[in-house]
Homo-oligomer: A and B are copies of this chain.
């Protein structure tokens, strides 16, 4: 017999889900996007819509097969929508890609090479999430302090040699794909925040 004060966990599971508008946004997007810039263009489009929909920050990601450009998954920041602070675009895209391929290791021997495409250098959490995911390439639009300066989001204490540490683990880093377009998304978001009316969230600050 259980005592009154025995533990009754309120939550046994949580779900990270794409917002409903994703299918609408992807309706005219082909399964295979051979050009890397075009893949980043899709990421920017999703990032821009994401904050407008009140789903979270202006961040998006996708996982593709590097060789063909076949899109395996997309992700957006769903922190506000799911109420789970780890639900960044990269974590979402990587988890969905792993669900799609049926296992936790996107770099398994029977897998084609996978890449993660993101609209800026990942925060410290997603840096680690990328390391453990099995992707062989990280593609970012940019990696400088502009993201934090424009959006005011805290990206956490990253190591200066973050890219070298990726490379040391066999993950190639491609930087500077449609960089200006990324900054335009961030600036548009920031302008909207300054004008009021955007449901802003942010994590703990220093």
Chain A residues within CB distance 8 Å of chain B = 2-3, 5-18, 22-23, 26-32, 71-74, 79-80, 82-87, 91, 94-100, 102-105, 107, 123-129, 131-134, 154, 156-157, 159, 161-162, 165, 168-171, 201, 203-206
- Are B12 and A18 in contact, CB atoms less than 8 angstroms apart? yes
One complex includes copies of this chain to the number of 2
**Closest Cβ neighbor of A79 among chain B residues:** B104
Nearest-CB distance from A155 to chain B (Å)?
A: 9
User: A132 to B80, alpha carbons, bound, how many Å?
Assistant: 13
Contact A86 B95 (CB under 8 A): yes
Q: For residue A170, which residue of chain B has the nearest CB?
A: B204
- Which of these, B10, B31, B162, contacts A7 with CB under 8 Å? B31
Determine whether the beta carbon of A86 is less than 8 Å from that of B132. yes
Partner of A13, one of B18, B23, B83, B107: B18
Closest 6 CB pairs of A and B: A125-B128, A13-B17, A124-B128, A11-B99, A10-B100, A132-B203
Q: Which residues of B contact A156 (CB under 8 A)?
A: 127-128, 131-132, 165
Task: Decide: A32 and B14 in contact? CB cutoff 8 A.
Answer: no
**Which residue from B85, B94, B165 sits with its C-beta under 8 Å from A132?**
B85
A73 to B6, CA, bound (A): 13
Indicate if the CB atoms of A27 and B9 lie closer than 8 Å.
no
Which residues in B have their C-beta under 8 angstroms from that of A103? 83
